[in-house]
Structure 1
Amino acid sequence: MIHYLIIDDEPIAHRIIENYCENLQHLEKKGNCYNSFEAMQFLNENDVDLLFLDINMPKLSGFDFLKTLSNPPKIIVTTAYKEFALEGYELNISDYLLKPFSFERFIKAINKTIDTTQNKKTTATFSTIETQPNANSFFLKGDKRHHQIHYEDLLFIEAYGHFTKVYLRNEMIVSPQKISDFEKLLPKLDFIRTHKSFIVAKNKIKQIEGNRILIDVHKIPIGQTYKENINGLFL
């Protein structure tokens, strides 16, 4: 589990980060601080793995606060000021997010920050897939809840950095599970690997044209090494 602390003088910034993190169950909030002095006291009493740090705060800026830390955790800067990016990277921050930032950009920052070894340890310790032999569904942990995923509702799965996007009829769930785990889990008669980053439900394929598969409104690429799989679908 990755424990994070938000340091920002704007309450709305805390809510945005918290809402994004709720979709990534291996991230757990350790606390909220609204200025650098609160953060100093908090870190003297608690250990965290990741800081979401604003720059422009009263009395002591985020970067001045960062310079006081002898052994800082991973840092993702969240700010509205792009002109301080260079200084941030000189302080060994992991990423620099300009407000307002999207969930996709946030995911990229997390991927960049959490190294592969740490993520593998998290995934192994906190399994996100639960299934039973001969079942027509499985439980997937996401948004801090367990979702029952019926195979018939599953459109396709997309690898996304250290995460996986599970596309259903009416929603998309982000999971830290590897796509290779889904490939082992899903019935091979019903699902097919079409690309190093995609697994699709055979009965949801609407069209195949060239190197693309159409599922609902989504266009899925066909990888060169997976063309033989697709050719096996044709009579």
Structure 2
Amino acid sequence: MIKYLIIDDEHMAHEIIKGYCDMLPNMSLVKHCYDALEALDCMRENTVDLIFLDLNMPKLKGFDFLKTLTNPPKVIVTTAYKEYALEGYELEIADYLLKPFGFERFLKAVNKATQVKASVPPITPPAENTQPEHIFLYSDKKHVQVKVADVLYIEAAGNYAKVVLRDNTLLVREKISDLLVRLASSDFIQVHKSFVVAKTHILSVEGNRIQVAGHSVPIGKLYRTNVLELLKE
């Protein structure tokens, strides 16, 4: 099991990284840290194998934090500033992810970091053929069997999620990240912090909106890379 730490002062960045890690096996979150000092306290009491590190943070900058560690774990930098890449590699980071980044690039970085340890095999996404054609969703005090191919998109709604199907909508008490694990994740794409869309039901992409079977879904800035990668397929 790879124990990881997210160090970033932006809540949205935590959501994206945690969501991606939840799609992979053998990844265990130690803690969400919103500044480097909080991370230092955490690492005094916990074993950490991998750090996702932002650079521009209050109190103590990312690389300054890294320089204080005598025996640092593997580090993947996640930042919007490409000009610090050279300094990062001089500090022997595993990889440098420029925000926004998609799942494929994220997976490459994680594999690069974990392959250094001979005892840890490369991580691969869940196999497509292991995903069921149907899943049961608990909605309105009953378990409803849903055909995965009928799911148009999923929308976060507080502690719930709206699963929009071809002919109806279900309100379930699950997070989007948890639903992605249960669905055939390769057939779905996260386009916004609150929206996941079925690739086969996308009719068109225009500007910052996606048309899905008569519904208009927004594209979030941090997820635009996911959409651009889809358009290249």
TM-score by length of 1: 0.53
**Partner SS for 1:172:** helix
User: Which whole-Å deviations, capped at 9, do the CAs of 1:136-184 have from their partners, x for residues lacking one?
Assistant: xxx94xxxxxx4479xxxxxxxxxxxxxxxxxxx7528xxxxxxxxxxx
> Once the 2 structures are TM-superposed, how far is the Cα of residue 119 of structure 1 from its aligned partner?
2.9
Letter of the structure 2 residue corresponding to residue 119 of structure 1: V
SS state at 1:69 partner = coil
What letter corresponds to residue 172 of structure 1 in structure 2? S
Confirm or deny that 1:81 pairs with 2:81.
yes
The offset of 1:115, in angstroms, is: 1.1
Q: Hey, what does 2:205 align to over in structure 1?
A: none
Structure 1: give runs of 5+ residues left out of the alignment: 130-138, 141-146, 151-169, 174-235
Match of 2:186 in 1: 172
CA distance in 2, matches of 1:66, 1:89: 12
The answer (yes or no) to whether the contact 2:36–2:61 under 8 Å persists in 1 is yes
Secondary structure of 1:118 counterpart? coil
* SS of aligned partner of 1:120: coil
Residue 153 (structure 1) aligns with: none
- AA partner of residue 10 (structure 2): E
Name the residue aligned to 1:163.
none
Counterpart-to-counterpart distance in 2, 1:81 and 1:171: 29
Residue 120 (structure 2) pairs with residue 119 (structure 1):
yes
Q: Which residue of 1 aligns with 2:95?
A: 95
* CA distance 1:83–1:94, change in 2 (3 Å): same
If asked which structure has higher relative contact order (CA below 8 Å, sep 6+), I would say 2
SS at match of 1:106: helix
Q: Which amino acid aligns with 1:58?
A: P
Task: Kindly provide the CA deviation profile for residues 110-147 of structure 1, in whole angstroms up to 9, marking residues without a partner as x.
Answer: 11111172333999xxxx89xxxxxxxxx94xxxxxx4
Kindly provide the CA deviation profile for residues 29-71 of structure 1, in whole angstroms up to 9, marking residues without a partner as x: 1111000110110001111100000000012100000000000
Q: Report what 1:66 is aligned to.
A: 66
| Counterpart residue number, 2:22 | 22
How has the CA–CA distance of structure 1 residues 171 and 80 changed in structure 2, closer, same or farther, with 3 Å as cutoff? Answer: closer
Q: For the residues of structure 1 that align with 2:95 and 2:122, how far apart are their CA atoms? A: 22
| Aligned-partner residue type, residue 65 of structure 1 | F
- 8 Å contact kept, 2:80–2:98: yes
Q: Partners of 1:112 and 1:10 in 2: how far apart?
A: 25
- 2:23 partner SS: coil
* Structure with the greater alpha carbon radius of gyration: 1
Q: 3-state DSSP class of the match of 1:111?
A: helix
Query: Is 2:66 the partner of 1:52?
Result: no
Letter of the 2:109 counterpart: A
SS of the equivalent of 1:70 reads coil
Aligned residues: 138
CA separation of 1:22/1:86 partners in 2, compared to 1, >3 Å: closer, same or farther?
Answer: same
Letter in 1 for 2:5: L
Tell me which residue corresponds to 2:32: 32
Q: After superposition, give the CA deviation of every residue in 1:86-116 in whole Å (9 maximum; x if it has no partner).
A: 0000001000000000111101101111117
1:52 corresponds to which letter in structure 2?
F
Query: Alignment partner of 2:119: what SS?
Result: helix
Structure 2: tracts of 5 or more residues without a match: 135-183, 188-233
Q: Matches of 1:121 and 1:99 in 2, distance apart? A: 23
CA deviations over 1:192-221 (Å, ceiling 9, x no partner): xxxxxxxxxxxxxxxxxxxxxxxxxxxxxx
